[in-house]
Amino acid sequence: MPYLGSEDAVKELKKALSNPHIQGDRLRYRNVIHKVIRHMTHGVDVSSVFMEMVKASATVDIVQKKLVYLYMCTYAPQKPDLALLTINTLCKDCSDPNPMVRGLALRSMCNLRMPGIQEYIQQPVQNGLRDKASYVRRVAVLGCAKMHRQGSDVEIDGALVNELYSLLRDPDPIVLVNCLRALEEILRGEGGVVINKPIAHHLLNRMADLDHWGQSEVLTFLLRYKPRSEEEIFDILNILDNYLKSTHISVVMGATKLFLVLAKEFPHVQSDVLVRLKGPLLAACTSESPEMCFAALCHVREILRSVPGHFSNHYKKFFCSYNDPHYIKNQKIDILCELVNDENVHSILEELRVCCTDVSIQLAHTAVFAIGRIARTYSEKCVKILAGLLEYKQEHITSAVVQTFRDLVWLCPQCTASVCQALPGCEENIQDNEGKQALIWLLGMHGELIPNAPYILEEYADNIKTEICPMVKMELLTALVRLFLSRPAECQDMLGRLIYYCIEEESNMAVRDRSLFYYRLLSSGIDEVKNVLSGPKSDSSLAILVDGTEQPVNSWVPVFNTLAPLYDKKLWQSITANSSKCELPIVNNLATTSLVEDFERPLDPEMPQHSPDTVTLVSDIEMTPELFENKWLSLTANHCWDIEWKKDVEPDLLQSSLHVLNIYTIAKSKAGTQPWKSYLYAQDTKENVFLIELMLCTDSYTLKTTVKQDRENMVALNDFGSLLQHAVCAVLELSNAGNLPST
SS3 (DSSP) at 179: helix
N-to-C CA span, the chain: 75
The closest alpha carbon to 462, from 451, 475, 476, belongs to 476
Report the pLDDT value the prediction gives residue 612, as an integer from 0 to 100: 41
Residue 477: count other Cβ atoms within 10 Å of its Cβ: 24
Q: How many CA atoms lie within 13 A of 148 on its CB side?
A: 21
Render pLDDT for 249-272 as a digit per residue (tens, 0 to 9).
999 999 999 999 999 999 999 999
Q: Is 235 exposed, middle or buried (0-12, 13-18, 19+ CB in 10 A)?
A: middle
Mean predicted lDDT score pLDDT of the chain: 83
SS3 (DSSP) at 139: helix
Report the pLDDT value the prediction gives residue 611, as an integer from 0 to 100: 42
Confidence bin at 737 (pLDDT 50/70/90) = very low
| 212-216, 383-387, 670-674: least confident range | 670-674
Render pLDDT for 144-163 as a digit per residue (tens, 0 to 9).
988 888 776 667 788 888 99
Report the pLDDT value the prediction gives residue 401, as an integer from 0 to 100: 94
Distance CA 544, CA 555 (A): 19
Amino acid at position 480, single letter: L
| 92-96, 325-329, 637-641: least confident range | 637-641
Render pLDDT for 13-57 as a digit per residue (tens, 0 to 9).
888 888 888 888 888 888 999 889 888 888 888 888 888 888 888
Render pLDDT for 407-459 as a digit per residue (tens, 0 to 9).
999 888 888 999 999 998 888 889 999 999 999 999 999 989 998 999 999 99
Render pLDDT for 20-30 as a digit per residue (tens, 0 to 9).
888 888 888 88
Render pLDDT for 68-87 as a digit per residue (tens, 0 to 9).
888 888 888 777 777 777 78
Residue 91: count other Cβ atoms within 10 Å of its Cβ: 16
Q: How many CA atoms lie within 13 A of 718 on its CB side?
A: 11
Amino acid at position 469, single letter: C
Residue 434 CB partners (closer than 8 Å, separation 6+): 399, 403, 619, 620
> Is the distance from CB of 461 to CB of 497 less than 8 angstroms?
yes
Distance CA 18, CA 647 (A): 77
Render pLDDT for 589-637 as a digit per residue (tens, 0 to 9).
323 233 223 323 333 333 334 444 457 787 777 778 878 888 888 887 6
Q: Residue 671: pLDDT above 80?
A: no
Render pLDDT for 280-291 as a digit per residue (tens, 0 to 9).
999 999 888 999
Describe the strand order of the beta sheet including 676-683 as a list of residue ranges. Answer: 639-644, 702-709, 689-697, 676-683, 664-668
Could you tell me how many helices (H) and strands (E) the chain has, helices first? 37, 5
Distance CA 460, CA 476 (A): 8
Instruction: Give, to the nearest 10 degrees, the angle between helix 158-166 and helix 118-129.
Output: 30
The closest alpha carbon to 147, from 130, 165, 166, 123, belongs to 123
Distance CA 87, CA 311 (A): 60
Report the pLDDT value the prediction gives residue 541, as an integer from 0 to 100: 63
Report the pLDDT value the prediction gives residue 389, as an integer from 0 to 100: 93
Q: What angle do CA 109, 115, 120 make, to 5 degrees?
A: 40
Name the E strands within 659-701: 664-668, 676-683, 689-697
SS3 (DSSP) at 131: coil
- Percentage of residues in the chain having pLDDT higher than 70: 88
Distance CA 193, CA 191 (A): 7
Span 483-496, mean pLDDT? 91
The closest alpha carbon to 281, from 304, 258, 308, belongs to 304
pTM recorded for the entire structure: 0.69
Task: Give DSSP secondary structure letters for 300-321.
Answer: HHHHHHHSTTTTGGGGGGGSPP
Confidence bin at 118 (pLDDT 50/70/90) = confident
Distance CA 267, CA 307 (A): 12
Biggest CA pair distance of the chain = 109
Span 326-340, mean pLDDT? 92
Q: What angle do CA 97, 99, 105 make, to 5 degrees?
A: 95
